[in-house]
Structure 1
Amino acid sequence: MPQTIAFKTPADVRQALLAQQEIALIDVREEDPFAQAHPLFAANFPASRLELDAWRRIPRRNTTIVVYDNGEGLAAPAAATLQQLGYTDVALLQGGLQGWRDAGGEIFIDVNVPSKAFGELVEAKRHTPSLAAEEVQALLDAKADVVVLDARRFDEYQTMSIPSATSVPGAELVLRARALAPNPATQIIVNCAGRTRSIIGTQSLVNAGVPNPVAALRNGTIGWLLASQKLDKGASRQGAEAAPLDEAQRAQAATQARSVADRAAVGRAKTADLARWRSAAEQASRTSYFFDVRTPEEFAGGHLPGFASAPGGQLVQETDHSAPVRGARLVLADTDGVRANMTASWLAQLGWEVWVLDDVPASDFTTAPQAAAYPEPRGHSQNVSAADLANWLANTPAGDTAVLDFTTSANYVQRHIPGAWFVLRSQLAQGLKEIPKAKRYVVTCGSSLLARYAVQDIAEQTGAEVWVLDGGTQAWIAQGLPLEHGETRLAAPRIDRYRRPYEGTESPREAMQAYLDWEFGLVDQLARDGTHGFKVL
């Protein structure tokens, strides 16, 4: 039986953060409202997918968890769900987000704010070198000795990139810089979409002692667009293919990366430490995250048991998502001695207890990816095949069958079953009011994994029979059945994802400039908040 849900005050949460105690402050609204206002160390856990996220992102069941919303009525049911999932120390934030405001708590906007604010602090403290978009364009036009390295994920790079740029995601920079710019006189430019990853990437090369002149592209692709300069689309240059490493380059990078990590007081872990941290007693008292910071492709080819894929550059950028328990222990692994050490050096400066696993040979990275474990949904569900659903839709009276699609709004717009309604679980009651009543409801998403969790609620709210599309919309597509595109039937607002001002090239100039102005103000916000614990080397 769920326990009575207690309350914690904003002062309680603040004290835990200052004392570096383990705490997960979770905002259960959808991503867009979360991005509009939240405390610095709040992690976004949309109530609509809580069952899929909780066990993976908060591994210790007796972690202190504080749940809040902004008066939408999501927090209390989410806290009860967490208790049903086995969490024993769950509380509600007294007063919710407004209570945080009323207590004088600083309010931040956007996503991945701890990392972005830290990046601004790094630049302010270290005066990280940068060049304006116009200066970089002039170098490229003059065919100067310059290489541009894009520190974002490869998919982001392919969406839009600086002309001539090569994709070298953040943790790869120190590993590959010497191969990509073997002449120490070559100017290296590091860019991202905005500011953070270019600042951290550039400072990584500086910290590691790369001899080349290095500079960040000031304000990234946003700055490039604001300068009315053109971006490439669909580029495919990747650093690993453009300049393979030799052993001497790898060894030199490993030595320098370890030196940086040692300066940041990164811990050195052995396999015996790993075994101890995974013991039942330790797992009951301390949260440990185990991350493989190599590329997703390397991870898929084999990794250490119990380690999750978290490419180092993105781990530094999205620590609040990957490790939502502030105060937890982070353990990193790689096969080269470079990426884990450089990533760890930044995480330590971000205030984490972080360790690098040192004594494991590359031959031990052999575990194949395994399917995640998820809790069983409430109640009973029955499946319908894609072929049978197509028959129902084609050969029964209109209104007999309603298809509810719980995928992301972006996926829904891209393609969905004809006639399907887009619904958010967190907005289910409102959504069902928008959808004409039916004799039966069929739920789906990409695989129907998330949709299964909505079955019991729909049955209780409608009194109708509810079916799960076996294999989800992917099975429908595999059968070659027709698809529909666009915002055809929205039974919920598209608030599941925050539209970043630095995505794509269509954002208004005013939005891009406002985003940069916000980033420039983050150092002052950190000072007012006072809970960050960041230390810049």
Structure 2
Amino acid sequence: MTTADRSFPTVSFAAVRERLLAREETALLDVREEDPFAQAHPLWAANLPLSRIEIEAWRRIPRRDTFIVLYGEHAGSDLAPQAARTLASLGYTQLHLLEGGLEGWRAAGGELFRDVNVPSKAFGELVEHERHTPSLSAPEVKALLDAKADVVVLDARRFDEYQTMSIPSATSVPGAELVLRVRELAPDPATRVIVNCAGRTRSIIGTQSLVNAGIPNPVAALRNGTIGWKLAGQTLDHGAARRAPASVAEEHRASARADARRVADAAGVRRIAFDALATLEAPGRTVYRFDVRTPEEYAAGHLPGFASAPGGQLVQETDHQVPVRGARIVLADDDGVRASMSASWLAQMGWEVHVVDPVPPAAAWRETGTPAVAYPPVAQAAGEIAPLELAALLNKKDPGTAVIDVTTSANYVKRHIPSAWYAVRAQLAAAIDGAIPRAQRYVLTCGSSLLARYAAADLRALLDARGQRDAEVLVLAGGNAAWFAAGLEAESGETRLATPRTDRYRRPYEGTDAPAEAMQAYLDWEFGLVEQLGRDGTHHFRVV
């Protein structure tokens, strides 16, 4: 954000649309915060907030000569040019600004979508529309449970989501695990299997996965998920901890492997040997490599160069995990089931997908833990202040010290340093010109101090431009984590918001306190996605 100004070429709505239709690699990036992004954006836009470019860009857009199109709200917004300057400083060379910004897209007749993870959610609706995925209403499922019928409920979300709220008796089986583990939970072919998520997408995809795999059990999605359950006035469980068995009988694994391969072959999934992966690396082609097993399995040992992306969530969050539309995707597992099933859905969504096959030998899964992430250097390094030293200043009620926390607003509300101001990093200028009083010393912090270091460089430039060259800018050593680890005082709540909490879009299906009106509006929106896909026309979805 602090590099010298330069001009960047603009590209029109028509040109971007043509690239998407031709499947030319394109990263269409919305550099606003997540909440405004969720209010309206093109189908294939990925959210990369200006505030987080340095810590996300290299991981999410690995090829520096990727064709990138950036936009903010309108042509007069400075977000996209700032983002382009930052990306240029990180080595990206094919940077363009969307002509007219989001308003230009709208004015040109481009379709705009609400919410997040829209490509996956729209695809899920198309799957149900074309395959007539079987489903049962919340009252019907509750009646089965009350009657103690031969039924199992499988929650296809992440385990943490399942723990927040779940259907009574449900077991956590994240989406990619369903075909592999369903026979352990429902060995009797007469047992009815119900798949649920919070809303619709993962229950539809999960249910259709079991149907496509040909398991003998009757299968149905819980219509509208936990939202439908709550709207029916029924009670959800909280804090449940039921998981599928960790081990899978070899006969069940063999059946799942054969089923998954058949489904993947029908979807057009490609196969590639582990030692041939380098052949996918070609000029002008981006390759994403994902291990689709559970995070725990990944940490215990994974293939070099593969990132962790559990298959169900990868299919749900393609816009975040694979922001370069037209890129190649390679998936790996150690069982021959989860990669094939995940790949079958990505292929139907128009991606070129390869599965590592045959499964590499045990010796190949040699990397453990989480690979180190490389971050670009900070434009202007700031000095540090230790937690105890800062605490001493704050205990003195020193009016000359202002603490600015650029962590996520959710983390700030949960717990933060007393007297700290919350600010979105990209909105620091408004924060220091508005709510935050003028100070002799500014201390930047975040969860770990990583983002704070980049924010400190921004603040230094802003203060110099305002004639506050004598003001000191420091970074809290170790960030909030070090402060809390030292046992220092903390407070919670929206105590000092220097900027609005636009960094996070509140999903209508998350948490336990969403209003019924918001949940119903969300379902109504999902029902209209198939029609929106038809108007947009760039999706390349093909349901098999």
1:406 has 2:413 as partner: no
Q: Secondary structure at the match of 1:240?
A: coil
Residue 15 (structure 1) aligned to one of 1, 18, 23: 18
Alignment of structure 1 residues 315-464 onto 2, 5 Å: 315-359=314-358, 360-368=360-368, 369-395=370-396, 398-433=398-433, 434-462=435-463, 463=468, 464=471
Q: Which amino acid aligns with 1:376?
A: P
Q: Which amino acid aligns with 2:279?
A: R
- Tell me the distance in 1 between the aligned counterparts of 2:211 and 2:458: 55
Q: State the Cα distance separating 1:454 from its structure 2 match.
A: 1.1
Q: Secondary structure at the match of 2:288?
A: strand
- Tell me the distance in 1 between the aligned counterparts of 2:509 and 2:82: 34
Q: Which amino acid aligns with 2:508?
A: P
Alignment of structure 1 residues 12-411 onto 2, 5 Å: 12-71=15-74, 72-241=77-246, 244-278=247-281, 282=282, 284-359=283-358, 360-368=360-368, 369-395=370-396, 398-411=398-411
Tell me which residue corresponds to 2:526.
519
Tell me which residue corresponds to 1:535.
542
Q: Which amino acid aligns with 2:202?
A: R
Q: Secondary structure at the match of 2:384?
A: strand
Q: State the Cα distance separating 1:4 from its structure 2 match.
A: 3.1
- Tell me the distance in 2 between the aligned counterparts of 1:453 and 1:277: 35
Q: Is the 8 A contact 2:151 2:194 kept in 1?
A: yes
Q: Which amino acid aligns with 1:321?
A: H
Q: Secondary structure at the match of 1:503?
A: coil
Alignment of structure 1 residues 477-516 onto 2, 5 Å: 477-516=484-523
Tell me which residue corresponds to 2:474.
467
Q: Give deviations 1:47-67, integer Å, cap 9, x for gaps.
A: 111111100000000000000
Q: Is the 8 A contact 1:264 1:348 kept in 2?
A: yes
Q: State the Cα distance separating 1:276 from its structure 2 match.
A: 2.6
- Tell me the distance in 2 between the aligned counterparts of 1:232 and 1:7: 51
Q: Which amino acid aligns with 2:89?
A: Q
Q: Secondary structure at the match of 1:450?
A: helix
Q: Secondary structure at the match of 1:291?
A: strand
- Tell me the distance in 1 between the aligned counterparts of 2:269 and 2:376: 35
Q: State the Cα distance separating 1:3 from its structure 2 match.
A: 5.5
Q: State the Cα distance separating 1:486 from its structure 2 match.
A: 0.6
- Tell me the distance in 2 between the aligned counterparts of 1:526 and 1:238: 36
Q: Secondary structure at the match of 2:443?
A: strand
Percent pairwise identity:
67
Q: State the Cα distance separating 1:272 from its structure 2 match.
A: 3.2
- Tell me the distance in 1 between the aligned counterparts of 2:381 and 2:100: 36
Q: Secondary structure at the match of 2:398?
A: coil
- Tell me the distance in 2 between the aligned counterparts of 1:69 and 1:153: 31
- Tell me the distance in 1 between the aligned counterparts of 2:241 and 2:280: 41
- Tell me the distance in 1 between the aligned counterparts of 2:456 and 2:508: 36
Q: Give deviations 1:236-278, integer Å, cap 9, x for gaps.
A: 000135xx31111111101110110000110101123212335
Q: Is the 8 A contact 2:176 2:312 kept in 1?
A: yes
The runs of 5 or more residues in structure 2 that have no matched partner are none
Q: Is the 8 A contact 1:399 1:437 kept in 2?
A: no
- Tell me the distance in 1 between the aligned counterparts of 2:353 and 2:245: 27
Q: Is the 8 A contact 2:66 2:94 kept in 1?
A: yes
Which of 36-45 and 386-395 deviates more? 386-395
- Tell me the distance in 2 between the aligned counterparts of 1:495 and 1:156: 22
- Tell me the distance in 2 between the aligned counterparts of 1:307 and 1:271: 11
Q: State the Cα distance separating 1:391 from its structure 2 match.
A: 1.6
Q: State the Cα distance separating 1:506 from its structure 2 match.
A: 1.0
Q: Which amino acid aligns with 1:307?
A: F
The runs of 5 or more residues in structure 1 that have no matched partner are none
Q: Which amino acid aligns with 1:405?
A: D
Q: Is the 8 A contact 2:416 2:491 kept in 1?
A: yes
- Corresponding residue pairs, total: 530
Q: State the Cα distance separating 1:398 from its structure 2 match.
A: 2.7
Q: Is the 8 A contact 2:30 2:48 kept in 1?
A: yes
Q: Secondary structure at the match of 2:354?
A: strand
Q: Is the 8 A contact 1:266 1:345 kept in 2?
A: yes
Q: Is the 8 A contact 2:184 2:245 kept in 1?
A: no
Q: Give deviations 1:48-89, integer Å, cap 9, x for gaps.
A: 111111000000000000000103421111011111110000
Which of 11-20 and 365-374 deviates more? 365-374
Q: Give deviations 1:124-161, integer Å, cap 9, x for gaps.
A: 00000000000000000000000000000000000000
- Tell me the distance in 1 between the aligned counterparts of 2:97 and 2:245: 47
TM-score, normalization by structure 2: 0.96
Q: Which amino acid aligns with 2:263?
A: V
Q: Which amino acid aligns with 1:445?
A: C
Q: State the Cα distance separating 1:393 from its structure 2 match.
A: 1.7
TM-score, normalization by structure 1: 0.97
Q: Which amino acid aligns with 1:96?
A: G
Q: Secondary structure at the match of 1:239?
A: coil
Q: Is the 8 A contact 1:187 1:212 kept in 2?
A: yes
Q: Which amino acid aligns with 2:315?
A: V
Which of 466-475 and 364-373 deviates more? 364-373
Over 3 Å counting, the alpha-carbon distance change for 1:430 and 1:2 in structure 2 is closer
Q: Is the 8 A contact 1:2 1:83 kept in 2?
A: no
Q: Is the 8 A contact 1:406 1:424 kept in 2?
A: yes
Q: Is the 8 A contact 2:417 2:491 kept in 1?
A: yes
Q: Which amino acid aligns with 1:266?
A: V
- Tell me the distance in 2 between the aligned counterparts of 1:227 and 1:249: 36
- Tell me the distance in 2 between the aligned counterparts of 1:342 and 1:238: 20
Q: Secondary structure at the match of 2:353?
A: strand
Q: Which amino acid aligns with 2:520?
A: Q
Q: Which amino acid aligns with 1:164?
A: S
Q: State the Cα distance separating 1:2 from its structure 2 match.
A: 7.0
Q: State the Cα distance separating 1:431 from its structure 2 match.
A: 0.7
Q: State the Cα distance separating 1:362 from its structure 2 match.
A: 3.3
Q: State the Cα distance separating 1:302 from its structure 2 match.
A: 1.1
Q: State the Cα distance separating 1:479 from its structure 2 match.
A: 0.6
